[in-house]
A and B are shown apart, each in its own frame.
Chain A
Amino acid sequence: MNQMLQTRFDGPWVKVGRVDDIPLQGSRVVKTHGGEVAVFKAADGRVFALRNRCPHKGGPLSEGIVHGHAVTCPLHNWVISLETGEAQGADSGCTKVIGVLVEDGVVHLDLSRLPRLMEAAE
């Protein structure tokens, strides 16, 4: 498969690919042993990462429409903040935010707390 990386945990920051691999106003999925992470690139070029599950019914946020610093879940149109993981408007719920570090066009995720986060959410 193209552009796929097989990466081990290596300190707090894990390299997952290049910023250019993510479409503008789009998203890509990173598969981990602890579940999927959605990595987003907003219109302004900023990269965010969330656990790839909507707090509502578990919809894959990576498949939603990205607008501003938010994504609309494809299943029931909840709007989730990319910055805080919080559901916007009248809905309430929160998706775990994953730390992102971009260096020289390369995206690194902080997966160190991931297993714990995943457990906490189940």
Chain B
Amino acid sequence: MDKTSLIVVGNGMAAGRVLEHLLEADRDAYAVTVFNAEPRVNYNRIMLSPVLSGEKTYEDILIHDDAWYAANGVTLVKGEAIVGIDRETKTVRTAGGAVHGYDKLLIATGSNPLIIPLPGKDLPGVVTYRDLDDVEKMMAAASQGGRAVVIGGGLLGLEAAAGLRAQGMEVTVLHLMPTLMERQLDPAAGYLLQKAIEDRGIEVLCKANTHAILGDTTVTGVKLDDGREIACSLVVMAVGIRPNMALAKDAGLAVNRGVLVDDGMRTSDPDIFAVGECVEHRGVCYGLVAPLYESAKVVAAGLTGSEGAYTGSVTATKLKVTGIDLFSAGDFADAKDRQEIVYRAPGVYKRLVLRDNVLIGAVLYGETADGSWFFDLIKSGSDISAMRDTLIFGPAFAGGEPLDPTAAVAALPDDAQICGCNGVCKGTIVSAIGAKGLSSLDDVRAVTKASASCGSCTPLVEKLIVATIGDKYQAAAVEPICKCTDLGHDEVRRMIVAKGLRSIPAVMQELSWKTSCGCAKCRPALNYYLVCEWPGEYEDDSQSRFINERVHANIQKDGTYSVVPRMWGGVTSPAELRAIADVAEKFNIPSVKVTGGQRIDLLGVRKEDLPAVWADLGKAGMISGAAYAKGLRTVKTCVGSEWCRFGTQDSTGLGIKIEKAMWGSWTPAKVKLGVSGCPRNCAEATCKDIGVVCVEAGYEIHFAGAAGLHVRQTEVLTLVPTEEEAMEIILALTQLYREQGRYLERIYKWAKRVGTPSIKAAIVDDPERRRVYADRFRFSQQFSQVDPWAERVKGLEAHEFAPMAEVGFKEAAE
């Protein structure tokens, strides 16, 4: 008998899923013929990356093999493209010229990779990343070795890069935008991702615009807009996809960016359905698999007469690169009506976006186990206000009941990690409380180290103590920051992170400040905490800075200022000295003095003269020495192996490197460094905040010295053999201090409070965490290494340096 005929154009994942639903609903409804332009059965296209990386084979990723088509009575025509649709006669025409009639037609032509119209785009060796043919081309190229350039730092591009790298190629990723996967990730997660990609030996160049692909007969390289050339034997274009709608358009169906469909997945012709990446539904074209699956159900329903409706999808993204855990879902753009919750731990970044107590977006990096739970919350649109405080910690804390946080903590399994910094789990804490009779937070910290480092788990630990010993818990008496609040420094910092507070007014509002706008104690502290927590995002509040940091000079007892230009590592030159001498004479600067940190101090400069003084120093190449800053001050050095007969290493050179890496950074209190070339210690490194003493075997890193009100010798943190490791440790240590130190707390006081073991555990014993801290420091430095003097010479904050008015002088002169 003549069954109704269904012709399917395309045999990708969407078409395959429609067939499954259709056969399940009514396996005899249609005589189905599938035309596949590729000479293959249906395979799982999203698993191409594991095939490329060698983790899977083509056979592993088959969805429907030949036997499946035979068993289900579906005719599959492989390697035959459909080139025309005649809606009048209800027929399709193949490339080979055959004509087939249909009753219902399903267009599932998918998408085409975007090709940037660059010179050289058609050269052999330029491939896209779309189907198995592409993968085979890439694997063939990889077997020859050499370098591949991947254009596009999105999902596909990064998967291609990781796969090619796993196949043994050198790989460079070029990405137009400042951070990777900017459509799925916010900049912070994009930055972590870039580091993880780079750790695989893949070079990543952001803000890189490709100018041309080079080569005569085959690809030999790419040229960037800035003139750089990168030699390579393979170019992968992975810059995006475009719905493949040519066939539908030629047939006169309504199209826009894709083939337009209604909620029933019907095109403008009721006998023609469309599904998959070729479709535009409610203004959206999807390029991910989940929406295709959801709409495939609706197509199958439509074909069997039980109309369904597809209303659009919330999409989630997971990067399929082994060892990189990354998840994003929903809408996570910033907007006025949204709040966010952010959680950061070494190597971990989580951000939830809320609107009206509903979760609408999530970005997870490093720990993605809760991704599907968050995704469900986004899709269901449930009100999360009852569990808002613990939402970021995932379902383990959500419980079923309206939340009692203590009960939620009590319900955690024994192996639940409470303190990420020191790796302490719940069982360890509970048994320590029982065995040693601990009753206060300080006790628990001392014995287990839980919450002894960054303190972000303090509330969890406290609840755990309450859950274990009940009323016997002695709440710690926290010293408030100032009279404006009952909260201590650590609590405020934790809340800034947990609640994602990004301005001083937000902190004061959310944390119930008792004064309307704070005081001279809390405002500079909050300003620092915000600067530290949100590099590149938070805009410094100059009115919350002490005068020295506001005008970038040191106020003296008579209201004049002192000016100290930076001299890298204490090294200067005749030209710099001449410029300093000229400035001193030109502006009648009464006193010129050499400082303890190997700099030259110009004392007694009138405030109005500051910009002009800086302009002259700037012309000689000098920038602010930050002698006023709660930040990096100086790196003092001795002459080291370059000149000294006792010198073991280039202490001057290392000091300059450190200073170049660290200048401009803000810290809880001032940070002074010293690098001595041998244990004779002429740079007095052993009473600095951070010191290096060079020895034959390498570099002894010291910290927590003081030579002020208190005099204290440094402790040795570790000994490392190379300059690179010394730098990494110093940057990581500084970042740990930046994140844990209380405002105005010098390094030695911080070290005493948190304990040297916890610092060593983070910086010395665990290379992974060390790197994460050092990376965060470097990330933040991108935004802080701007010379404040040069900015003010150009006119920034000009009101600071000029009186508002001068009154009565004419009269006095007359």
Give the contacts of B394-445 with A (CB-CB under 8 A): none
The answer to whether A63 touches B547 (Cβ under 8 A) is: yes
- State how many angstroms separate the Cβ of A29 from the closest Cβ of chain B: 5
Specify which chain A residues have a CB less than 8 angstroms from the CB of B545 in the assembled complex. 65
Among A6, A22, A34, A74, the residue within 8 A (CB) of B804 is A22
Specify which chain A residues have a CB less than 8 angstroms from the CB of B544 in the assembled complex. 25, 65
**Which A-chain residue is minimally distant from B505 (CB atoms)?**
A43
Specify which chain B residues have a CB less than 8 angstroms from the CB of A68 in the assembled complex. 515-517, 519
Task: Render A71-92 as a binary contact track against B, CB cut-off 8 A, 1 for contact.
Answer: 0101101010000000000000
CA gap between A67 and B808 in the complex, in Å: 31
The answer to whether A26 touches B543 (Cβ under 8 A) is: yes
The answer to whether B798 touches A65 (Cβ under 8 A) is: no
Specify which chain B residues have a CB less than 8 angstroms from the CB of A1 in the assembled complex. 608, 802-803
Say yes or no: is A33 at the interface (Cβ < 8 Å to chain B). yes
CA gap between A57 and B555 in the complex, in Å: 14
Say yes or no: is B518 at the interface (Cβ < 8 Å to chain A). yes
- State how many angstroms separate the Cβ of B611 from the closest Cβ of chain A: 11
The answer to whether A29 touches B804 (Cβ under 8 A) is: yes
Say yes or no: is B524 at the interface (Cβ < 8 Å to chain A). yes
Say yes or no: is B520 at the interface (Cβ < 8 Å to chain A). yes
The answer to whether B517 touches A33 (Cβ under 8 A) is: no
Among A4, A25, A64, A111, the residue within 8 A (CB) of B802 is A4
Given contacts A24-B543, A25-B517, A65-B524, contact A75 B557 (CB under 8 A): yes
Specify which chain B residues have a CB less than 8 angstroms from the CB of A23 in the assembled complex. 542-543, 799
Give the contacts of B133-148 with A (CB-CB under 8 A): none
Interface size class of A (residues with CB under 8 A): 35 or more
**Which B-chain residue is minimally distant from A60 (CB atoms)?**
B559
Given contacts A2-B798, A74-B547, contact A29 B519 (CB under 8 A): no
Say yes or no: is A39 at the interface (Cβ < 8 Å to chain B). yes
The answer to whether A25 touches B543 (Cβ under 8 A) is: yes
Say yes or no: is B71 at the interface (Cβ < 8 Å to chain A). no
The answer to whether A4 touches B543 (Cβ under 8 A) is: no
CA gap between A23 and B796 in the complex, in Å: 13
The answer to whether A4 touches B516 (Cβ under 8 A) is: no
Specify which chain A residues have a CB less than 8 angstroms from the CB of B98 in the assembled complex. none
Say yes or no: is A120 at the interface (Cβ < 8 Å to chain B). no
The answer to whether A67 touches B805 (Cβ under 8 A) is: no
* Count of A-B contacts judged by CB separation below 8 Å: 122
The answer to whether A16 touches B543 (Cβ under 8 A) is: no
**Which A-chain residue is minimally distant from B806 (CB atoms)?**
A31
Given contacts A77-B520, A79-B520, contact A4 B803 (CB under 8 A): yes
**Which B-chain residue is minimally distant from A53 (CB atoms)?**
B559
**Which A-chain residue is minimally distant from B515 (CB atoms)?**
A68
The answer to whether B517 touches A5 (Cβ under 8 A) is: no
Specify which chain B residues have a CB less than 8 angstroms from the CB of A34 in the assembled complex. 808
The answer to whether B809 touches A33 (Cβ under 8 A) is: yes
CA gap between A96 and B748 in the complex, in Å: 42
CA gap between A97 and B142 in the complex, in Å: 80
Given contacts A2-B798, A24-B543, A43-B516, contact A65 B523 (CB under 8 A): yes
**Which A-chain residue is minimally distant from B812 (CB atoms)?**
A33
Say yes or no: is B807 at the interface (Cβ < 8 Å to chain A). yes
The answer to whether B520 touches A4 (Cβ under 8 A) is: no
The answer to whether B803 touches A2 (Cβ under 8 A) is: no
CA gap between A57 and B557 in the complex, in Å: 8
Give the contacts of B520-572 with A (CB-CB under 8 A): 520, 523-524, 542-548, 550-551, 555, 557, 559
Specify which chain B residues have a CB less than 8 angstroms from the CB of A67 in the assembled complex. 515, 517-520, 523
- State how many angstroms separate the Cβ of B600 from the closest Cβ of chain A: 24
Among B523, B547, B805, the residue within 8 A (CB) of A16 is B805
Say yes or no: is A99 at the interface (Cβ < 8 Å to chain B). no
- State how many angstroms separate the Cβ of B635 from the closest Cβ of chain A: 28
Specify which chain A residues have a CB less than 8 angstroms from the CB of B555 in the assembled complex. 60, 63, 74-75
CA gap between A58 and B557 in the complex, in Å: 8
Give the contacts of A42-73 with B (CB-CB under 8 A): 43-44, 57-60, 63-68, 72
Specify which chain A residues have a CB less than 8 angstroms from the CB of B804 in the assembled complex. 3-5, 16-17, 21-22, 28-30, 39
Say yes or no: is B811 at the interface (Cβ < 8 Å to chain A). yes
The answer to whether A7 touches B520 (Cβ under 8 A) is: no
The answer to whether B802 touches A2 (Cβ under 8 A) is: yes
Say yes or no: is B810 at the interface (Cβ < 8 Å to chain A). yes
- State how many angstroms separate the Cβ of A24 from the closest Cβ of chain B: 7
Given contacts A67-B520, A68-B519, A75-B555, contact A5 B806 (CB under 8 A): yes
Specify which chain B residues have a CB less than 8 angstroms from the CB of A66 in the assembled complex. 543
Specify which chain B residues have a CB less than 8 angstroms from the CB of A58 in the assembled complex. 559
CA gap between A79 and B484 in the complex, in Å: 15
Given contacts A23-B799, A63-B555, A68-B516, contact A7 B543 (CB under 8 A): no
Specify which chain B residues have a CB less than 8 angstroms from the CB of A75 in the assembled complex. 555, 557
- State how many angstroms separate the Cβ of B225 from the closest Cβ of chain A: 40
- State how many angstroms separate the Cβ of B381 from the closest Cβ of chain A: 39
**Which B-chain residue is minimally distant from A65 (CB atoms)?**
B520
Specify which chain B residues have a CB less than 8 angstroms from the CB of A64 in the assembled complex. 520, 547
Specify which chain A residues have a CB less than 8 angstroms from the CB of B547 in the assembled complex. 63-64, 74
CA gap between A65 and B549 in the complex, in Å: 12
- State how many angstroms separate the Cβ of B543 from the closest Cβ of chain A: 4
Say yes or no: is A94 at the interface (Cβ < 8 Å to chain B). no
CA gap between A63 and B520 in the complex, in Å: 12
**Which B-chain residue is minimally distant from A67 (CB atoms)?**
B519
Specify which chain B residues have a CB less than 8 angstroms from the CB of A57 in the assembled complex. 557
- State how many angstroms separate the Cβ of A20 from the closest Cβ of chain B: 10
Specify which chain A residues have a CB less than 8 angstroms from the CB of B548 in the assembled complex. 74
Specify which chain A residues have a CB less than 8 angstroms from the CB of B517 in the assembled complex. 25, 43, 67-68
- State how many angstroms separate the Cβ of B553 from the closest Cβ of chain A: 11
Task: Render B437-458 as a binary contact track against A, CB cut-off 8 A, 1 for contact.
Answer: 0000000000000000000000
Say yes or no: is A14 at the interface (Cβ < 8 Å to chain B). yes
Give the contacts of B766-814 with A (CB-CB under 8 A): 798-799, 802-812
CA gap between A105 and B519 in the complex, in Å: 27
Specify which chain B residues have a CB less than 8 angstroms from the CB of A74 in the assembled complex. 546-548, 555
The answer to whether B803 touches A28 (Cβ under 8 A) is: yes
**Which A-chain residue is minimally distant from B795 (CB atoms)?**
A2
**Which A-chain residue is minimally distant from B524 (CB atoms)?**
A65
CA gap between A23 and B545 in the complex, in Å: 13
- State how many angstroms separate the Cβ of A44 from the closest Cβ of chain B: 8
**Which A-chain residue is minimally distant from B551 (CB atoms)?**
A63
**Which A-chain residue is minimally distant from B548 (CB atoms)?**
A74
Task: Render B759-770 as a binary contact track against A, CB cut-off 8 A, 1 for contact.
Answer: 000000000000
Among A4, A21, A24, A26, the residue within 8 A (CB) of B806 is A4
CA gap between A23 and B798 in the complex, in Å: 11
Specify which chain A residues have a CB less than 8 angstroms from the CB of B520 in the assembled complex. 64-65, 67, 72, 77, 79
- State how many angstroms separate the Cβ of A36 from the closest Cβ of chain B: 8
Give the contacts of B478-529 with A (CB-CB under 8 A): 515-520, 523-524
User: What would 10 more interface pairs be, CB under 8 Å, given A1-B802, A25-B517?
Assistant: A2-B798, A4-B806, A7-B807, A8-B811, A22-B804, A63-B550, A65-B520, A65-B524, A65-B545, A75-B557
**Interchain Cβ contacts under 8 Å between A and B, 25 examples:** A1-B608, A1-B802, A3-B802, A6-B806, A6-B810, A9-B807, A16-B807, A23-B543, A25-B517, A26-B543, A29-B804, A30-B803, A31-B805, A31-B807, A31-B809, A44-B516, A60-B559, A63-B550, A63-B555, A64-B547, A65-B546, A66-B543, A67-B515, A67-B519, A67-B520
Closest 9 CB pairs of A and B: A72-B520, A28-B804, A63-B547, A16-B805, A65-B520, A25-B543, A5-B805, A33-B812, A43-B517
